[in-house]
Amino acid sequence: MQADIKIVLVNTTHSGNIGGVARAMKNMGLADLVLVAPKSFPSDEASARAAGADDILSAATLVDSLQQAIAGCRLVFATSARERHIPWPIMDPREMAAVISTVDKDAGSGAVAIVFGREDRGLTNEELHLCQHHVCIPSVSGFSSLNIAAAVQVIAYEIRMASLTDVSAQAPQWGTSWDVPLAEQQELELMFEHFESTMVKTGFLDPENPRQFMTRLRRLIMRALPDKIEVNILRGMLTSITKTIGSTKK
């Protein structure tokens, strides 16, 4: 069992799909399902479609927001069928599975999250920007969107295949093995808030006209996969800037 991989479903509308996802997960040895404000759950429809994967449904965690779902995670992948306005580091499911295979299994549960969007409109840009990597199943253009349970099946299959063979050498060279644990999602968010407030204080960021500043900064920092010490260094620098501004204003 790959207990440290969470499958996160955001605002799922059709409860039958939640059951289909549970079944796809159980087939491939995944167990940790997190539901962000589903329209209706639990439901008979979900149990029927789970076809024996009821244990995954009854152990599912319900939360109100995506932030809550991924707070303790160090590596977060968003799945999406289409290219967005601002490009983000993108992988196919096989590359994603290779990266996951490099994650230190001793790091504790909830180290990795894979996020799936709404049936009708996927994930919002804000939700996508909470995630370090975007994963796209390379379906045909013009008919690229899979049913959510089918998308989970493809992703879970690649994770399963990667767990049966050693594919870590196929991961992009930066991998995730490091001397210091990667920062958790919540720590990254606090750092981004710190950046935003400090840059408003210095006058570098105009809150009335922020343009894409925070999105681009997010993308830059997410790409680097910062660890806990690096986040502390960046925040320490921000604090020193705030102190300097305070002392020059006196």
3-state SS, residue 89: coil
- The alpha carbon of residue 188 and the mean position of all alpha carbons in its chain are separated, in whole angstroms, by 12
Least distance (Å) between residue 20 CB and ligand SAH: 11
Query: Total residues contacting ligand SAH (rule CB under 6 A)?
Result: 19
Surface-to-core class of residue 45, CB atoms within 10 Å of its CB (0-12 exposed, 13-18 middle, 19+ buried): middle
3-state SS, residue 115: strand
**Alpha-carbon torsion (37, 39, 44, 49), positive or negative:** negative
Find the binder of ligand SAH among 97, 117, 205, 226 (CB under 6 A). 117
21 binds ligand SAH (CB under 6 A): no
3-state SS, residue 7: strand
145 binds ligand SAH (CB under 6 A): yes
Least distance (Å) between residue 138 CB and ligand SAH: 7
Q: What are phi and psi of 142, to 5 degrees?
A: 95, -20
By residue count, the chain amounts to 250
Let me know: does 49 contact 20? Beta carbons within 8 Å: yes
- Residue the block writes with tokens 């589903």: 38
Which residues from 75-94 bind ligand SAH, rule CB under 6 A?
A: 79-82
Nearer Cβ to ligand SAH (121/249): 121
Q: What angle do CA 207, 66, 64 make, to 5 degrees?
A: 105
Least distance (Å) between residue 129 CB and ligand SAH: 15
x-marked contacts with ligand SAH along 146-165 as a string, rule CB under 6 A: x-x--x--------------
69 binds ligand SAH (CB under 6 A): no
Least distance (Å) between residue 134 CB and ligand SAH: 8
Can you read off the two tokens belonging to residue 127? Answer: 């939700």
Find the binder of ligand SAH among 67, 68, 139, 163 (CB under 6 A). 139
Instruction: From 33-41, 67-75, 144-152, 165-173, give the range in contact with ligand SAH by CB under 6 A.
Output: 144-152
Binding site for ligand SAH (CB under 6 A): 79-82, 116-117, 119, 121-123, 135-137, 139, 144-146, 148, 151
